[in-house]
């Protein structure tokens, strides 16, 4: 595993899972094992005040059972990896104890763009894992995050890579471009710091969870 700190609360990470776990994650994302459903939607809004609203297509996720959309669901493999990453990555980098609060999957085809959003309050952290068999950087799909000083950071989308960010930073997963032959998939784990009770959800206009 290779780690780069991009900002005070932003890390990019390569080679996150070992080969067996990553192959199992790829298998778990296959739609004939877990159904895909295309219902995810950021609120349609203008990029700048006064501009026309841009309507983006809905994007996909796995059907999620148990705990509602804000919970961890009932996919035992996803939960197992979330607990593994808690110890392997999150707590080691933060030097804080955390607990897993939410698991979200994301599936995007070209033009299924998302908008900037938050995942939690200041004591929440999002660990993102990119899930694909292979990827060419010419296909796009970068992860974009804005730090507190308004600086934009971009993490290239690639197999078995990802990022750890504070959940209160604006971010989004960019859709693959029109030359990409495959979809962009990812899984996002959101954790809460133990002993810090300010795990507030963001406001409704930025509550979507696409990464």
Range 140-144 average pLDDT: 97
- Distance between CA atoms of 46 and 53, rounded to whole angstroms? 4
pLDDT at 42: 57
Range 147-169 average pLDDT: 95
Alpha helical stretches, state H, 56-201: 76-85, 91-94
- Distance between CA atoms of 64 and 70, rounded to whole angstroms? 10
Answer whether 192's CB lies under 8 Å from 123's CB.
Answer: yes
Answer whether 160's CB lies under 8 Å from 180's CB.
Answer: no
Range 153-166 average pLDDT: 97
pLDDT at 135: 97
More confident call, 204 vs 91: 91
52 has a pLDDT exceeding 70 = no
Share of the chain above pLDDT 90, in %: 61
- Distance between CA atoms of 99 and 190, rounded to whole angstroms? 9
pLDDT at 113: 85
78 has a pLDDT exceeding 50 = yes
pLDDT band at 67 (very low <50, low <70, confident <90, very high): low
pLDDT band at 92 (very low <50, low <70, confident <90, very high): very high
Q: Give the orientation angle of helix 19-29 with respect to helix 76-85, to 10 degrees.
A: 140
CA dihedral 18, 90, 75, 1 (to 10 degrees): -10
């Amino acid at each position: 595993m290779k780690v780069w700190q991009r900002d005070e609360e932003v890390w990019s990470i390569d080679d996150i899972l070992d080969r067996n776990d990553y192959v199992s994650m790829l298998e778990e994302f296959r739609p004939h094992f877990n159904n895909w459903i295309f219902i995810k939607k950021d609120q349609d809004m203008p990029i700048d005040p006064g501009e026309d609203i841009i309507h983006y297509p809905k994007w996909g996720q796995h059907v999620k059972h148990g705990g509602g959309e804000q919970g961890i669901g009932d996919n035992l493999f996803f939960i197992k990896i979330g607990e593994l990453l808690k110890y392997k990555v999150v707590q080691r980098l933060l030097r804080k104890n955390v607990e897993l609060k939410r698991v979200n999957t994301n599936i995007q085809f070209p033009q299924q763009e998302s908008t900037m959003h938050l995942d939690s309050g200041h004591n929440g952290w999002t660990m993102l894992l990119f899930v694909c068999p292979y990827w060419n950087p010419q296909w796009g799909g970068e992860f974009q995050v804005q730090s507190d000083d308004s600086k934009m950071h971009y993490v290239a989308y690639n197999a078995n890579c990802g990022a750890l960010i504070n959940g209160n930073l604006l971010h989004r997963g960019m859709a693959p471009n029109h030359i990409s032959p495959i979809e962009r998939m990812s899984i996002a784990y959101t954790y809460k710091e133990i002993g810090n009770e300010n795990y507030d959800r963001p406001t409704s206009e930025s509550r979507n969870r696409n990464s």
